[in-house]
Chains A and B, each alone.
Chain A
Amino acid sequence: MQQLVFAVGTMLAGVLGCAAYFWGTSFILDLIFPSKGRSGVEASRNLRITNAIRPWLFLAPALFALTIYLIYPVAMSVWFSLHDRAGQSFVGASNYVWMLNDGEFRQSIFNNFLWLLVVPALATFFGLVIAALTDRIWWGNIAKTLIFMPMAISFVGAAVIWKFIYDYRAEGTEQIGLLNAIVVAFGGDPQAWITLPFWNNFFLMAILVWIQTGFAMVILSAALRGIPEETVEAAVIDGANGWQIFFKIMVPQIWGTIAVVWTTITILVLKVFDIVLAMTNGQWQSQVLANLMFDWMFRGGGDFGRGAAIAVVIMVLVIPIMVWNIRNAAKEMKGH
């Protein structure tokens, strides 16, 4: 309880501190370069100066935090990846050479590519289908809310939920895991799903698909509603059926949004760590890059060189999407 009071206190102090900073610097700036009540030339000169300085005063705290917490670490991670486990002596590319020869790393890369292929595709597909279907029924909004709900659940919470579904009891005893109960009901043998090498990847992916479908659905649903009605009406008049309208008229018009959803989920997949940690911690050949990185960060007291090298690999995989995003944002701003 005491720490909660401390937290609220810090929060108020932080907010007041920020407010004081923004107000105070603006006040001082106006004090040094006053523009009110001065002669024309001086006023306009001071106004020009304050207008040039003020944006940077507004930006300073944000730029400072971004630099410390994102820009500096990115550079330093690259630096660490070229150094030994304590970050002391330069070792060249040997962390990367180690990586290429490490079985666990190759396993992670393979699994990550599986994840990258399956999760964005399935989540986007389900999201699109659900968005299209729920638009046609009166209880569509209720259905959407329920499908969107897993979005609010933490990866760890979701891992517990699904571990319960995959729960395994020895053959012959009553299964309390839903999946095994269904398998047994259809006459199959119960399986310890998350320990089956290769296939367990898909059981873990199901969790992320379950969480992310709601996100895809919300965005794609808005995009579908933004399609001009004339295009659909024209297709109906030409005698197109439901499938044709959906796949040949509607989907092509929202390719841009589909790509955005796809790339956003792709990035999330590259960073996913909690699910694997909670479900298998990389055992039974289910390791992924983000969990491997976390593992090396603390394994045997922590190997910063190898950990950073793995982080750099994740970063490199993200860069194409980053460039694509920046170009899109720039294009959009020119349109404004």
Chain B
Amino acid sequence: MNPATRSPLTWAVHLSVLLLVALWTLPTAGLLISSLRDKDQLAVSGWWTALSTSTQNIVARAPGADTQVERDGKFVISGDVLEGTAAGEVSAFGFSSREPTAFKAGETAELNDGEKLTVQADGSFEIVSDTKMEGARGQRIFFTAAVPPRFTFDNYVEVLSAEGIGASFINSLTVAIPSTVIPILIAAFAAYALAWMPFPGRAILIAVVVGLLVVPLQMSLIPLLKLYNGVGAFFGVPAKTYVGIWLAHTGFGLPLAIYLLRNYMAGLPREIMESARVDGASDFDIFVKIILPLSFPALASFAIFQFLWTWNDLLVAIVFLGAGQDELVLTGRLVNLLGSRGGNWEILTASAFITIVVPLIVFFSLQRYLVRGLLAGSVKGG
């Protein structure tokens, strides 16, 4: 295509890609921004207003009658409604819940019993009465205040300590690390045999591996659950253990691992192996000293896939590790929070961000290998 035919379209292309990128990133951005907002602000305004000043309706209670002072023959109770809040400026106030914004800041409201209430924009208020006031409970003051935007890590602190996210984070790491590393070596040896060692039945085995790639996990759950219960009962150990889930993830990850690595190894130049064999190297030597180092990119690709998959997995973790408080992984914890804290978005957004931050770091730092693995991993068509 020459530049002349392209230029009228260029702006349209830029704009549409920009729109698509916005569509794909805004959901995550909204989550991140929300998780950093003050929880009172998060509950009443959209995250896209996070930088603007919002208004908030607050209720304060004036001190009781024992704090009144006599001044110029009148009895006065004074104070600051904004004390202890993050709000910056009062715009309106009222004294009953039916009309919380009846008066503008600076106006004077006549209370039912002849007292006069004045609230200034800066939050200071005075209740003035001709007679001595009584009662230990002070007057309730409703006011609308402008609240400057506030960002905080409080939500994160809360979910990490009180909501069990911290413990689940450790559980997720415990599940994901061995589940990623153990299958690699097993698969690498099998892949080498399938790529470079001639033996009868090799083509069938490769076909089986390709077939197993797409077997739905659902087919494995019930029989394996039964098997685990049986093995657990036989040896007198719990059926749901970390060892069990590591092995399960190993088994489920193997087809992809073998397939990826076999394809990669089959593409390595034959001459290297033949010259090594002429020099008297055994298959074992060739594999360890030549194939394994050369296959590093494929190994890395698979490791990233497997890590993302085991970290993000919910199904295998619930079934084989259990849904108790102590063994919940991050995804399981998040599902529980969705049920129990459905409306507390400050908790949900912060928890969700903690669960996705590790995969995102892996993604952005190792994206190259991920792309390479994807391209090699999808069965090529036609």
Contacts and interface: CB of A to CB of B under 8 A. Distances in A.
Contact of A326 (B44, B210, B219, B349): B210
B141 interface: no
Contact of B367 (A148, A155, A294): A148
Contacts of B170: 1, 3-4
Contacts of A255: 381-382
Interface in A151-172: 151-157, 159-165, 167
A154 B247 CA distance: 21
Interface in B3-53: 5-6, 9-10, 13-14, 16-17, 20-21, 24-28, 30-31, 34, 42-48
Nearest to B24: A147
Contact of A15 (B185, B187, B192, B380): B185
Interface residues of A, number: 124
A63 to B, nearest CB: 7
Given A61-B186, A181-B46, A314-B218, A70 B379 contact: no
Contacts of B34: 164
A165 B218 CA distance: 30
A145 B312 CA distance: 19
A41 B21 CA distance: 69
Contact of A136 (B13, B174, B213, B216): B13
Nearest to B326: A3
B41 to A, nearest CB: 10
A174 interface: yes
A137 interface: yes
A318 B173 contact: no
Interface size class of B (residues with CB under 8 A): 35 or more
Interface string B337-370: 0100000010011011001100110111001001
A307 B20 CA distance: 40
Contacts of B21: 143, 146-147
A161 B1 CA distance: 40
Interface SS majority for chain A: helix
B215 A70 contact: yes
Contacts of B10: 136-137
A307 B381 contact: no
Contacts of A257: 380-382
B222 A65 contact: no
Nearest to B311: A154
Interface string B159-176: 000000000001101110
Given A63-B190, A162-B27, A261-B378, A10 B246 contact: yes
A110 interface: no
Nearest to A264: B378
Given A3-B170, A156-B355, A274-B314, A326 B211 contact: yes
B46 A178 contact: yes
A70 B106 CA distance: 75
Contacts of B359: 152-154
Interface stretch (A95-103, A196-204, A214-222): A214-222
Contacts of A32: none
Given A18-B182, A68-B251, A153-B312, A315 B355 contact: no
B193 interface: yes
A108 to B, nearest CB: 13
Contacts of B282: 26, 30
Given A69-B220, A311-B219, A11 B214 contact: no
A10 B246 CA distance: 10
A52 interface: yes
A73 B223 contact: yes
B304 to A, nearest CB: 9
Contacts of B290: none
Contact of A333 (B1, B24, B190, B206): B206
A257 B374 CA distance: 12
A328 B219 contact: no
Contact of A311 (B20, B186, B221, B381): B221
A156 B335 contact: yes
Interface in A62-84: 62-63, 65-66, 68-74, 76-77, 80
A10 to B, nearest CB: 5
Contacts of B266: 336
A153 B16 CA distance: 24
Contact of A149 (B24, B44, B335): B24
B255 A297 contact: no
Given A210-B27, A318-B214, A55 B187 contact: no
23 contacts: A4-B173, A4-B174, A6-B174, A51-B197, A61-B189, A61-B190, A70-B251, A73-B220, A150-B28, A152-B308, A153-B28, A156-B334, A157-B312, A157-B331, A164-B349, A176-B44, A218-B374, A236-B5, A271-B218, A277-B335, A294-B221, A297-B319, A329-B207
Given A167-B345, A293-B218, 13 more contacts: A22-B185, A22-B189, A30-B282, A54-B193, A58-B193, A149-B28, A164-B345, A164-B348, A165-B30, A176-B42, A218-B371, A278-B338, A297-B222
Interface of A: 1, 3-4, 6-8, 10-11, 14-15, 18-19, 22-23, 26, 30, 51-52, 54-56, 58-59, 61-63, 65-66, 68-74, 76-77, 80, 87, 126, 129-130, 133-134, 136-137, 140, 143, 145-157, 159-165, 167, 174-178, 181, 210, 213-215, 218-219, 222, 232, 236, 241-242, 245, 255-257, 259-261, 264, 267, 270-271, 273-274, 277-278, 290, 293-294, 297, 304, 307-308, 310-312, 314-315, 318, 321-322, 325-326, 328-330, 332-333, 336
